[in-house]
Structure 1
């Protein structure tokens, strides 16, 4: 690229969910630090949330321009109905994205980076003769699972429409953790129509991924070698993006962060606080929420708990937590609506992370050397739990009772086990060191990212 050439102009298109927007924004910030300009395309619904959450922050700067296109749903419709959302996306967003790109002719787009789950955007870019990158924000093993669908059908594990033939444990390769078929990402919905819609959407994305010049992944080869070397050698690991010194801070959150909890953390002893956060999607039933509240109280340890406004099913009928709870825990517990998670996990007072094991949260815990208590809720989180507890051995799983509830006593016991055994902390620190080696000079992810930058600038 000559000195007189304008900087490359990237169009970034995330899937409209919190766990997808944040890592693509992290990648966009990395690219901005290398002189690229980025037009970041959210849905209208999520654009408003992101801008509202940014409020007075200025760190996106001049290099990242936030824009939106409609997702095809009405304002009052539920974006958590993923089958309906997927159908609307395919019907409306490709045409709207093409209109946007055409409007930017005077400020030409040089490359489209699309979440692999928005593969239709690669079709639009291909039609307009623009370079194309597919970005996978989750574990490489999950993309490998998607790409293995034809074999799953041939082996009689699933039907042609994605229906699970029987509940069983499978391994994609002898060196990978087992997967329960009922936890396949498209099979986590009770309604069969939704399962089939998402399976069709996923299969379509598998085909469009072949249009990509690069397929990059927010992971590191050291974290999941079999997935990269055996199943998905064409997927290039460039992460964890957040662990790299390329980033000072990030954006893309759907809720304003409550930073007052950082002052509370400053007042706690080193490695004393249980951090509890379940991401943007988890919803707990009333009974389970109360057991968690009582389990944290029973632990007799300080805790910071992120409780979203929509975190409990049927909030209208009860107060959450129960009346008198906040008086009993006093200053030992801190509840916030949304926390600056990367700053929280890097705080010296944090002892462990009670997490849903979404991939972003998993990487954030890993990158800060924090042991886990694993509480998966949905889709890939069950497999991520296997990585955390069975492969990396830096955390513990909870057991449920005959009613499917994780009891307060089970919570207290597992907190005591993970904090009472220094081997979990030692292992977490080893994993942190391994991750940091990968993203610093000479590391695998660092070299891959630099090669990617050279290609983008060529």
Structure 2
């Protein structure tokens, strides 16, 4: 895939949702597009803005969001989303008008690629007659589950009794009612339904880019192609196409790599629940006790915000620290891709966020699945039941956690999973290499964006 020879570089404007799990794939996509010959502009909220000096090849447009001193925790996320969409529309329109007026110097704006949570982009793009493409940062199977969930709501099949949670949903087997992105036993609040429907709606976008690969999401992608009726481009995993890009918003502790160097191959369980998940003190203690009882070496990311309102490190019991001092390493944040690529890491105890899952599969590392919300339940089910590289916890008490770790790290079942994970790693490498599905899809996407610029 060679660079296109533009007389003047065409420009792609990218608009991420300002949280780590959404910023990471958007920055990676920007790097991919830049390698193809496009100029890249990132329209980024001031909140959670990456350091522009780390990305000299990009132009950053700071969007005023008025989020200073605002509650940006996961519990207040719907309000954050509404706030961002209200406050960023005006500044974004001003930037785009200015950019369009300078196309003779700066290069033609080919299209805007945006996270569908940032729905103000669609309003501005329609006003200025600019083509848009939606970036989906979740697996296609998650979107398929959302489509089916709304069908079930229309048919009044949910809410349902708790006794039905383990029942498979025929349209999206092997997902069960318990794996749906929203609770199937509760009446779902209208504001949550409205947001979910808006997130699913691609509005007037010309296409969808997906951070996935056909080998992972073949059937859901087929179904969604029929549902949306616009071109779909699965070009993932993004991080393998932009391997040298650093995207973390938090400072990474590289000292853990030296600790890993001293551990035996495939002996360490890496534990991290991403950048957003929150647990309570009881859950923290259950995880700590499960790790202690498993008797396996571990690297545990305990970020300060993991425990809502308190520093999680302060609540780890002294007997746990004493018992695991010789075989445990606890840090606030790590360079995750380097950790997963380290030969000492034999398993990943994870929340099953999509970026983390892709990074783990791409290194041949199987997972213990402890999902928290939205797409994570769907991903966990696929890891366990379809791709067969994940352990589903029987419970999230110390007994279930201990058993899950032992199953993955020391049992024959764990060896089989590790072998399957290595096979999946090879399959994904084939996808991004010459002739692979993601390779071909990226070529088609570049041609499609060039054609959009020509139709403006």
Q: Compared with structure 1, are the counterparts of its residues 94 and 157 closer, same or farther at alpha carbon in structure 2 (3 Å cutoff)?
A: farther
1:294 aligns to 2:289 (yes or no): yes
Map of 2:60 onto structure 1: 66
Map of 1:33 onto structure 2: 35
CA distance in 1, matches of 2:346, 2:317: 26
Deviation at 1:184, TM superposition (A): 4.3
CA distance in 2, matches of 1:356, 1:190: 23
Alignment: residue pair count:
434
Q: Compared with structure 1, are the counterparts of its residues 145 and 119 closer, same or farther at alpha carbon in structure 2 (3 Å cutoff)?
A: farther
1:76 aligns to 2:66 (yes or no): no
The one-character-per-residue Cα deviations of 1:132-180 (angstroms, maximum 9, x if unpaired) are 111101011222234446533432235xxxxx46655576654632242
Map of 1:307 onto structure 2: 302
Q: Compared with structure 1, are the counterparts of its residues 139 and 317 closer, same or farther at alpha carbon in structure 2 (3 Å cutoff)?
A: closer
Task: Report the RMSD for the aligned CA atoms in angstroms.
Answer: 2.7
Tell whether the 8 Å contact from 1:188 to 1:378 is kept in structure 2 after alignment.
no
**For 2:264, what is the secondary structure of its paired residue?**
coil
Map of 1:238 onto structure 2: 235
Aligned partner (choices 242, 248, 252) of residue 257 of structure 1:
252
CA distance in 1, matches of 2:89, 2:283: 41
Aligned partner (choices 85, 107, 128) of residue 80 of structure 2:
85
**For 1:257, what is the secondary structure of its paired residue?**
coil
Q: Compared with structure 1, are the counterparts of its residues 407 and 232 closer, same or farther at alpha carbon in structure 2 (3 Å cutoff)?
A: same
The one-character-per-residue Cα deviations of 1:41-77 (angstroms, maximum 9, x if unpaired) are 2221111xx32xx8xx84x23x212332133544333
Tell whether the 8 Å contact from 1:157 to 1:166 is kept in structure 2 after alignment.
no
CA distance in 2, matches of 1:97, 1:191: 36
Map of 1:445 onto structure 2: 438
Consecutive unaligned residues of structure 1, counting only runs of 5 or more, are: 159-163, 401-405
CA distance in 2, matches of 1:103, 1:220: 37
Map of 1:418 onto structure 2: 408
Map of 1:129 onto structure 2: 129
The one-character-per-residue Cα deviations of 1:424-449 (angstroms, maximum 9, x if unpaired) are 11111111111111111111111001
Q: Compared with structure 1, are the counterparts of its residues 94 and 228 closer, same or farther at alpha carbon in structure 2 (3 Å cutoff)?
A: same
Deviation at 1:380, TM superposition (A): 1.3
The one-character-per-residue Cα deviations of 1:188-232 (angstroms, maximum 9, x if unpaired) are 99996xx4223213323444x141111111111211222112343
Map of 2:13 onto structure 1: 11
TM-score (norm 1): 0.87
Stretch deviating more after TM superposition (16-25 or 310-319): 310-319
Map of 2:454 onto structure 1: none
CA distance in 1, matches of 2:428, 2:367: 16
| 1:23-422 matches, cutoff 5 A | 23-47=25-49, 50-51=50-51, 58=54, 60-61=55-56, 63-80=57-74, 81-104=76-99, 105-106=101-102, 107=106, 108-148=108-148, 151-157=151-157, 164=159, 168-169=164-165, 174=171, 176-180=173-177, 184-185=180-181, 187=183, 195-207=189-201, 209-233=202-226, 234=230, 235-243=232-240, 246-315=241-310, 319-400=314-395, 406-419=396-409, 420-421=411-412, 422=415
CA distance in 2, matches of 1:338, 1:102: 40
Deviation at 1:295, TM superposition (A): 1.6
Tell whether the 8 Å contact from 1:238 to 1:446 is kept in structure 2 after alignment.
yes
Deviation at 1:91, TM superposition (A): 2.0
The one-character-per-residue Cα deviations of 1:94-124 (angstroms, maximum 9, x if unpaired) are 2221112123332353210001222331332
CA distance in 1, matches of 2:172, 2:90: 43
CA distance in 2, matches of 1:322, 1:190: 36
